[in-house]
Structure 1
Amino acid sequence: MQSQSIEPNLKALFQGVDTNKNGQLSENELRNALVNGDYTKFNIATVRLMMKMFDRNNNGTIGYKEFCNLWRYLGEWRKLFDRFDLDRSGSINYDEYCRALEAFGYRLSNQFISFMYNMHSAFDRQGVRVISFDMFVQSCLSLKRMTDVFKKYDKDRDGFITLAFEDFLYEVMNLT
Protein backbone atom coordinates (compact mmCIF):
# COMPACT_ATOMS: atom_id res chain seq x y z
CA MET A 1 0.00 0.00 0.00
CA GLN A 2 2.73 2.46 0.98
CA SER A 3 4.82 1.73 -2.15
CA GLN A 4 1.77 2.46 -4.32
CA SER A 5 1.42 5.95 -2.84
CA ILE A 6 5.14 6.61 -3.25
CA GLU A 7 5.27 5.20 -6.79
CA PRO A 8 3.71 8.22 -8.60
CA ASN A 9 5.99 10.63 -6.73
CA LEU A 10 9.04 8.54 -7.58
CA LYS A 11 8.01 8.34 -11.22
CA ALA A 12 7.61 12.12 -11.33
CA LEU A 13 10.98 12.62 -9.65
CA PHE A 14 12.65 10.17 -12.03
CA GLN A 15 11.12 11.83 -15.08
CA GLY A 16 11.96 15.29 -13.74
CA VAL A 17 15.68 14.57 -13.42
CA ASP A 18 15.87 12.50 -16.64
CA THR A 19 16.77 15.62 -18.61
CA ASN A 20 17.42 13.89 -21.95
CA LYS A 21 14.24 11.78 -21.53
CA ASN A 22 15.98 8.50 -22.42
CA GLY A 23 14.49 6.58 -19.47
CA GLN A 24 17.91 6.24 -17.82
CA LEU A 25 19.65 8.41 -15.25
CA SER A 26 23.27 9.33 -15.74
CA GLU A 27 25.53 10.01 -12.78
CA ASN A 28 24.75 13.74 -12.94
CA GLU A 29 21.01 13.18 -13.31
CA LEU A 30 21.01 10.81 -10.34
CA ARG A 31 22.92 13.37 -8.32
CA ASN A 32 20.15 15.88 -9.04
CA ALA A 33 17.60 13.43 -7.59
CA LEU A 34 19.51 12.71 -4.37
CA VAL A 35 19.63 15.42 -1.74
CA ASN A 36 20.43 15.55 1.95
CA GLY A 37 18.08 16.87 4.60
CA ASP A 38 19.54 20.35 4.11
CA TYR A 39 18.83 20.16 0.35
CA THR A 40 22.49 19.85 -0.61
CA LYS A 41 23.27 17.38 -3.37
CA PHE A 42 24.86 14.06 -2.51
CA ASN A 43 28.62 13.88 -2.63
CA ILE A 44 29.71 12.65 -6.07
CA ALA A 45 31.60 9.70 -4.56
CA THR A 46 28.39 8.57 -2.82
CA VAL A 47 26.48 8.90 -6.09
CA ARG A 48 29.12 6.78 -7.84
CA LEU A 49 28.85 4.17 -5.10
CA MET A 50 25.07 4.09 -5.54
CA MET A 51 25.48 3.78 -9.31
CA LYS A 52 27.88 0.88 -8.88
CA MET A 53 25.54 -0.87 -6.45
CA PHE A 54 22.28 -0.42 -8.37
CA ASP A 55 23.28 -0.44 -12.05
CA ARG A 56 22.39 -4.13 -12.42
CA ASN A 57 22.98 -4.32 -16.18
CA ASN A 58 26.28 -2.38 -15.96
CA ASN A 59 25.32 0.13 -18.65
CA GLY A 60 26.53 3.13 -16.63
CA THR A 61 23.02 4.42 -15.97
CA ILE A 62 20.11 3.78 -13.62
CA GLY A 63 16.74 2.76 -15.06
CA TYR A 64 13.45 3.36 -13.29
CA LYS A 65 13.31 -0.04 -11.56
CA GLU A 66 16.92 0.35 -10.42
CA PHE A 67 16.05 3.84 -9.19
CA CYS A 68 13.09 2.50 -7.19
CA ASN A 69 15.36 -0.11 -5.56
CA LEU A 70 17.96 2.56 -4.78
CA TRP A 71 15.27 4.83 -3.32
CA ARG A 72 13.99 2.06 -1.00
CA TYR A 73 17.55 1.27 0.03
CA LEU A 74 18.24 4.89 0.90
CA GLY A 75 14.94 4.97 2.80
CA GLU A 76 16.23 2.20 5.05
CA TRP A 77 19.48 4.10 5.55
CA ARG A 78 17.47 7.22 6.40
CA LYS A 79 15.75 5.30 9.21
CA LEU A 80 19.15 4.27 10.59
CA PHE A 81 20.50 7.81 10.24
CA ASP A 82 17.50 9.25 12.06
CA ARG A 83 17.87 6.63 14.81
CA PHE A 84 21.42 7.81 15.54
CA ASP A 85 20.79 11.55 15.01
CA LEU A 86 19.83 11.88 18.66
CA ASP A 87 19.78 15.67 18.72
CA ARG A 88 17.65 15.79 15.52
CA SER A 89 20.09 18.21 13.93
CA GLY A 90 19.92 16.54 10.52
CA SER A 91 23.56 15.51 10.78
CA ILE A 92 25.64 13.06 12.77
CA ASN A 93 28.09 14.41 15.34
CA TYR A 94 31.12 12.48 16.61
CA ASP A 95 29.36 10.93 19.63
CA GLU A 96 26.41 9.84 17.47
CA TYR A 97 28.84 8.35 14.94
CA CYS A 98 30.61 6.37 17.67
CA ARG A 99 27.25 5.03 18.89
CA ALA A 100 26.26 4.04 15.35
CA LEU A 101 29.49 2.14 14.68
CA GLU A 102 29.21 0.38 18.03
CA ALA A 103 25.57 -0.55 17.32
CA PHE A 104 26.68 -1.98 13.96
CA GLY A 105 29.06 -4.26 15.86
CA TYR A 106 32.35 -2.51 15.16
CA ARG A 107 34.92 -2.41 17.95
CA LEU A 108 37.35 0.17 16.65
CA SER A 109 39.95 2.34 18.34
CA ASN A 110 39.14 5.97 19.05
CA GLN A 111 42.02 6.88 16.74
CA PHE A 112 40.50 4.98 13.80
CA ILE A 113 36.99 6.28 14.48
CA SER A 114 38.38 9.83 14.51
CA PHE A 115 40.15 9.14 11.21
CA MET A 116 36.93 7.85 9.62
CA TYR A 117 34.90 10.70 11.10
CA ASN A 118 37.29 13.37 9.84
CA MET A 119 37.41 11.73 6.43
CA HIS A 120 33.62 11.82 6.01
CA SER A 121 32.62 14.95 7.94
CA ALA A 122 32.58 18.62 7.03
CA PHE A 123 32.19 21.82 9.01
CA ASP A 124 28.63 23.04 9.48
CA ARG A 125 27.61 26.70 9.69
CA GLN A 126 28.63 26.85 13.34
CA GLY A 127 32.11 25.51 12.56
CA VAL A 128 31.44 22.06 14.03
CA ARG A 129 32.43 18.90 12.19
CA VAL A 130 29.34 16.81 11.31
CA ILE A 131 28.47 14.02 8.90
CA SER A 132 25.63 14.54 6.43
CA PHE A 133 23.27 11.75 5.45
CA ASP A 134 25.07 10.88 2.21
CA MET A 135 28.47 10.79 3.87
CA PHE A 136 27.09 8.66 6.71
CA VAL A 137 25.91 6.12 4.14
CA GLN A 138 29.23 6.31 2.31
CA SER A 139 31.30 5.84 5.47
CA CYS A 140 29.23 2.89 6.69
CA LEU A 141 29.22 1.18 3.30
CA SER A 142 32.96 1.70 2.90
CA LEU A 143 33.59 0.20 6.32
CA LYS A 144 31.32 -2.76 5.55
CA ARG A 145 33.00 -3.40 2.20
CA MET A 146 36.46 -3.30 3.80
CA THR A 147 35.25 -5.59 6.58
CA ASP A 148 33.89 -8.07 4.04
CA VAL A 149 37.24 -8.15 2.22
CA PHE A 150 39.09 -8.67 5.49
CA LYS A 151 36.76 -11.49 6.55
CA LYS A 152 37.37 -13.23 3.23
CA TYR A 153 41.05 -13.64 4.20
CA ASP A 154 40.60 -14.09 7.97
CA LYS A 155 39.85 -17.81 7.72
CA ASP A 156 40.44 -18.55 11.42
CA ARG A 157 38.58 -15.39 12.56
CA ASP A 158 41.42 -14.23 14.81
CA GLY A 159 41.48 -10.67 13.48
CA PHE A 160 44.78 -11.10 11.63
CA ILE A 161 45.52 -11.88 7.99
CA THR A 162 48.53 -12.47 5.80
CA LEU A 163 48.02 -11.07 2.35
CA ALA A 164 50.22 -11.08 -0.73
CA PHE A 165 50.90 -7.60 -2.09
CA GLU A 166 49.10 -8.23 -5.38
CA ASP A 167 46.07 -9.65 -3.55
CA PHE A 168 46.03 -6.49 -1.45
CA LEU A 169 46.23 -4.30 -4.56
CA TYR A 170 43.45 -6.28 -6.24
CA GLU A 171 41.16 -5.90 -3.24
CA VAL A 172 41.85 -2.17 -2.80
CA MET A 173 41.28 -1.48 -6.48
CA ASN A 174 38.01 -3.41 -6.41
CA LEU A 175 36.79 -1.22 -3.55
CA THR A 176 37.04 1.95 -5.64
Structure 2
Amino acid sequence: MAYAGYGGYSAPGGYGGPGGFSRPATGPPHGADPQLWAWFTAVDTDGSGAVGAHELEKALINGDWTPFDLDTVKLLMSMFDVDRSGTIGFNEFCGLWKYIKDWQNVFRHFDRDQSGSIDRNELRDALSQFGYNLSPQLIGLVQAKYDIKASAVVTGHGPPPGITFDRFVRACVVIKQLSEAFQRLDTDRDGWVQISYDQFMQTVLSLP
Protein backbone atom coordinates (compact mmCIF):
# COMPACT_ATOMS: atom_id res chain seq x y z
CA MET A 1 0.00 0.00 0.00
CA ALA A 2 1.08 3.57 -0.49
CA TYR A 3 0.41 6.27 2.05
CA ALA A 4 -0.36 9.62 0.48
CA GLY A 5 2.48 11.97 1.19
CA TYR A 6 4.78 9.37 2.68
CA GLY A 7 5.66 6.68 0.17
CA GLY A 8 5.45 2.92 0.20
CA TYR A 9 4.53 0.19 -2.21
CA SER A 10 2.53 0.87 -5.33
CA ALA A 11 -0.76 -0.95 -5.65
CA PRO A 12 -0.97 -4.28 -7.47
CA GLY A 13 -2.68 -4.52 -10.84
CA GLY A 14 -6.29 -3.44 -10.74
CA TYR A 15 -5.66 -0.71 -8.18
CA GLY A 16 -4.19 1.99 -10.38
CA GLY A 17 -0.52 1.76 -9.38
CA PRO A 18 2.55 0.55 -11.25
CA GLY A 19 3.97 -2.91 -10.63
CA GLY A 20 0.86 -4.93 -11.50
CA PHE A 21 0.51 -8.69 -11.58
CA SER A 22 2.26 -10.37 -14.50
CA ARG A 23 0.73 -13.79 -13.82
CA PRO A 24 -1.87 -15.34 -11.52
CA ALA A 25 -0.62 -15.42 -7.94
CA THR A 26 0.11 -18.85 -6.50
CA GLY A 27 -0.90 -19.72 -2.99
CA PRO A 28 1.20 -18.26 -0.17
CA PRO A 29 3.67 -20.42 1.76
CA HIS A 30 2.34 -22.05 4.91
CA GLY A 31 1.83 -19.46 7.63
CA ALA A 32 2.52 -16.51 5.35
CA ASP A 33 0.36 -13.39 5.27
CA PRO A 34 -1.79 -13.80 2.11
CA GLN A 35 -1.86 -10.05 1.45
CA LEU A 36 1.91 -9.76 1.77
CA TRP A 37 2.34 -12.77 -0.51
CA ALA A 38 0.08 -11.06 -3.06
CA TRP A 39 2.29 -7.96 -2.90
CA PHE A 40 5.40 -10.08 -3.35
CA THR A 41 4.04 -11.85 -6.43
CA ALA A 42 2.97 -8.46 -7.82
CA VAL A 43 6.49 -7.08 -7.45
CA ASP A 44 8.06 -10.29 -8.82
CA THR A 45 7.05 -9.40 -12.36
CA ASP A 46 9.22 -12.01 -14.08
CA GLY A 47 7.89 -14.84 -11.90
CA SER A 48 11.35 -15.89 -10.75
CA GLY A 49 10.39 -16.28 -7.10
CA ALA A 50 12.73 -13.45 -6.11
CA VAL A 51 12.76 -9.68 -6.55
CA GLY A 52 15.62 -7.76 -8.16
CA ALA A 53 16.58 -4.12 -7.70
CA HIS A 54 14.78 -2.89 -10.81
CA GLU A 55 11.59 -4.78 -9.94
CA LEU A 56 11.68 -3.30 -6.45
CA GLU A 57 12.37 0.17 -7.84
CA LYS A 58 9.20 0.00 -9.95
CA ALA A 59 7.12 -1.12 -6.97
CA LEU A 60 8.27 1.44 -4.41
CA ILE A 61 6.84 4.95 -4.62
CA ASN A 62 6.96 8.20 -2.72
CA GLY A 63 3.89 10.09 -1.61
CA ASP A 64 4.06 12.22 -4.77
CA TRP A 65 3.96 9.02 -6.89
CA THR A 66 7.59 9.36 -7.95
CA PRO A 67 9.55 6.10 -7.91
CA PHE A 68 12.15 5.42 -5.26
CA ASP A 69 15.67 6.54 -6.07
CA LEU A 70 17.59 3.52 -7.42
CA ASP A 71 20.52 4.11 -5.04
CA THR A 72 18.07 3.93 -2.12
CA VAL A 73 16.61 0.71 -3.50
CA LYS A 74 20.09 -0.81 -3.79
CA LEU A 75 20.87 0.23 -0.21
CA LEU A 76 17.70 -1.47 1.03
CA MET A 77 18.53 -4.54 -1.04
CA SER A 78 21.99 -4.75 0.53
CA MET A 79 20.45 -4.59 4.01
CA PHE A 80 17.86 -7.32 3.48
CA ASP A 81 19.56 -9.63 0.98
CA VAL A 82 20.66 -11.93 3.81
CA ASP A 83 21.90 -14.77 1.59
CA ARG A 84 23.73 -12.33 -0.71
CA SER A 85 22.00 -13.73 -3.78
CA GLY A 86 21.56 -10.29 -5.36
CA THR A 87 17.78 -10.61 -5.07
CA ILE A 88 15.14 -10.55 -2.33
CA GLY A 89 13.21 -13.74 -1.54
CA PHE A 90 9.83 -13.76 0.16
CA ASN A 91 11.14 -13.98 3.74
CA GLU A 92 13.61 -11.16 3.06
CA PHE A 93 10.79 -9.18 1.43
CA CYS A 94 8.74 -9.52 4.63
CA GLY A 95 11.55 -7.91 6.63
CA LEU A 96 11.91 -5.13 4.08
CA TRP A 97 8.15 -4.50 4.13
CA LYS A 98 8.10 -4.06 7.91
CA TYR A 99 11.20 -1.84 7.80
CA ILE A 100 9.58 0.52 5.30
CA LYS A 101 6.32 0.65 7.26
CA ASP A 102 8.25 1.55 10.41
CA TRP A 103 10.07 4.33 8.53
CA GLN A 104 6.72 5.64 7.26
CA ASN A 105 5.67 6.23 10.86
CA VAL A 106 8.97 8.02 11.57
CA PHE A 107 8.54 10.18 8.48
CA ARG A 108 4.99 11.13 9.46
CA HIS A 109 6.17 12.16 12.90
CA PHE A 110 8.84 14.55 11.65
CA ASP A 111 6.97 15.89 8.59
CA ARG A 112 5.14 18.27 10.90
CA ASP A 113 3.76 20.52 8.17
CA GLN A 114 2.43 17.45 6.29
CA SER A 115 4.14 18.62 3.11
CA GLY A 116 5.22 15.13 2.07
CA SER A 117 8.90 16.07 2.38
CA ILE A 118 11.39 16.85 5.12
CA ASP A 119 12.81 20.38 5.30
CA ARG A 120 16.04 21.48 6.98
CA ASN A 121 14.55 22.06 10.44
CA GLU A 122 12.60 18.81 10.38
CA LEU A 123 15.75 16.98 9.32
CA ARG A 124 17.72 18.55 12.18
CA ASP A 125 15.05 17.55 14.69
CA ALA A 126 14.86 13.99 13.34
CA LEU A 127 18.63 13.42 13.44
CA SER A 128 18.87 15.00 16.89
CA GLN A 129 16.19 12.68 18.25
CA PHE A 130 18.08 9.73 16.74
CA GLY A 131 21.14 10.86 18.72
CA TYR A 132 23.05 12.51 15.87
CA ASN A 133 23.69 16.15 16.78
CA LEU A 134 25.14 17.39 13.52
CA SER A 135 26.47 20.92 13.17
CA PRO A 136 24.47 23.41 11.06
CA GLN A 137 27.11 23.03 8.35
CA LEU A 138 26.69 19.25 8.24
CA ILE A 139 22.90 19.56 8.27
CA GLY A 140 23.22 21.84 5.26
CA LEU A 141 25.42 19.32 3.48
CA VAL A 142 22.96 16.48 4.13
CA GLN A 143 20.07 18.64 2.93
CA ALA A 144 21.93 19.59 -0.24
CA LYS A 145 22.98 15.99 -0.94
CA TYR A 146 19.57 14.38 -0.58
CA ASP A 147 17.18 17.15 -1.68
CA ILE A 148 16.90 16.60 -5.44
CA LYS A 149 14.32 19.41 -5.77
CA ALA A 150 16.53 22.24 -4.53
CA SER A 151 17.98 23.04 -7.94
CA ALA A 152 14.50 23.35 -9.42
CA VAL A 153 13.57 25.95 -6.81
CA VAL A 154 16.68 28.01 -7.60
CA THR A 155 15.52 28.29 -11.20
CA GLY A 156 11.98 29.09 -10.15
CA HIS A 157 10.51 25.80 -11.31
CA GLY A 158 9.29 22.72 -9.54
CA PRO A 159 7.91 21.94 -6.06
CA PRO A 160 9.24 23.38 -2.80
CA PRO A 161 12.52 21.95 -1.52
CA GLY A 162 12.58 19.03 0.84
CA ILE A 163 13.79 15.46 1.19
CA THR A 164 11.36 12.85 -0.11
CA PHE A 165 10.56 9.71 1.89
CA ASP A 166 13.02 7.45 0.05
CA ARG A 167 15.91 9.86 0.38
CA PHE A 168 15.09 10.56 4.02
CA VAL A 169 15.45 6.84 4.77
CA ARG A 170 18.69 6.71 2.81
CA ALA A 171 20.13 9.79 4.53
CA CYS A 172 19.37 8.43 8.00
CA VAL A 173 20.78 4.98 7.19
CA VAL A 174 23.98 6.44 5.72
CA ILE A 175 24.50 8.75 8.71
CA LYS A 176 23.97 5.80 11.07
CA GLN A 177 26.50 3.69 9.16
CA LEU A 178 29.10 6.48 9.03
CA SER A 179 28.62 7.25 12.73
CA GLU A 180 29.05 3.59 13.67
CA ALA A 181 32.16 3.35 11.48
CA PHE A 182 33.63 6.41 13.23
CA GLN A 183 32.83 4.98 16.66
CA ARG A 184 34.70 1.80 15.83
CA LEU A 185 37.79 3.89 15.03
CA ASP A 186 37.36 6.24 18.01
CA THR A 187 38.56 3.65 20.53
CA ASP A 188 39.11 6.14 23.37
CA ARG A 189 35.72 7.83 22.76
CA ASP A 190 37.09 11.37 22.73
CA GLY A 191 35.44 12.32 19.44
CA TRP A 192 38.74 12.33 17.52
CA VAL A 193 40.51 9.67 15.48
CA GLN A 194 43.92 9.45 13.91
CA ILE A 195 43.90 7.16 10.92
CA SER A 196 45.81 6.82 7.71
CA TYR A 197 44.33 7.65 4.34
CA ASP A 198 44.22 3.92 3.58
CA GLN A 199 42.30 3.16 6.78
CA PHE A 200 39.84 5.97 6.06
CA MET A 201 39.22 4.75 2.51
CA GLN A 202 38.79 1.17 3.67
CA THR A 203 36.23 2.26 6.24
CA VAL A 204 34.18 4.37 3.83
CA LEU A 205 34.38 1.94 0.90
CA SER A 206 33.32 -1.01 3.06
CA LEU A 207 29.94 0.65 3.75
CA PRO A 208 27.00 -0.56 1.59
Q: Return the TM-score normalized by structure 1.
A: 0.92
The answer for unaligned runs of 5 or more in structure 2 is: 1-31
Q: Which moved more, 1:116-125 or 1:87-96?
A: 116-125
Deviations 1:94-149 (A, max 9, x none): 11111111111122111110000110012277542100000000000000000000
Q: Return the TM-score normalized by structure 2.
A: 0.78
Alpha-carbon separation, structure 2, partners of 1:42 and 1:10: 20
Partner SS state of residue 175, structure 1:
coil
Partner residue, 1:21: 47
Task: Give the length in aligned residue pairs.
Answer: 171
**Counterpart mapping for 1:18-167 below 5 A:** 18-123=44-149, 127-167=159-199
Question: Which of 24, 33, 52 is 1:7 aligned to?
Answer: 33
The answer for unaligned runs of 5 or more in structure 1 is: 1-5
> For the aligned residues, what is the CA RMSD?
1.6
Deviations 1:50-96 (A, max 9, x none): 11000000010000110110010111111111110001111111111
Q: After TM superposition, give the deviation of residue 160 of structure 1 in Å.
A: 0.2
Runs of 4+ in 1 over 4 A off after TM superposition: 124-127
Using the aligned pairs only, state the percent identity: 40
Greater helix share, structure number: 1
